[in-house]
Structure 1
């Protein structure tokens, strides 16, 4: 149905390094509607582009699973329990594997204000010197999510994502 692609960078606070990290997800099968605009301010022209992205619930995420933002914030990298710990705690091993996979930020994605979206699938990692400013300088269509409106009922379950 929709044929456009985006790269999503989810912002997540990492307690170990005491800073934000950005987790990249490729989404294929979205609709992008960008409105180009410019504001005139005292110091010159300022980009005022806005837009909306329609992301169907069945979007191609290359194996990643959607989590609501609050659950995504809880996702963390941790080691699965050892076999002895599983036996001692009487934890079902299959459930432990599911918890482990869903608990890793690399395996999940979300939509929340403050996340970054780039039109197209790009080979870029936001880390260290590769920051958001450099990303904006290297790529033309970089936006920040300002709103997420879940419309998950009806004929086309989707999220409407507002951008600036």
Structure 2
């Protein structure tokens, strides 16, 4: 990840193979960064990770299925710190536990119906959470839906095909 961030102009996007692009994400990400140029991380949110300590504290977790790591000294420092983290084998757990240890203050309550971007300050990092109508785990037809990242345990492939997404 560090190599990808360093090779980029502004950062690196990580996108899971099951995160379906309904439309190109660049305009959404550019808008988010214009609105919050201080953002180090721009992330999808999930609400179903009840096992995670971050979920228990915040009521959500950052979902690394669609996430932008901006090219900032703070993000590069975080990536370097990940090498020392040995709590879980999954990058999503590592990221959320890392931010949890830093301590996060969020500008609003984030839930499945939050209409605006939520901004958090976690230590020296600024984290921006994208609203669910832009990056969604559950299919809701919306004019601005950009990424549909289904929970494949709950969403059958036939349903995704019937939506015309694959």
TM-score computed with the length of structure 1 as normaliser: 0.24
- Point out the structure with max Rg over C-alpha: 1
Q: Which has the higher strand share?
A: 1
TM-score computed with the length of structure 2 as normaliser: 0.24
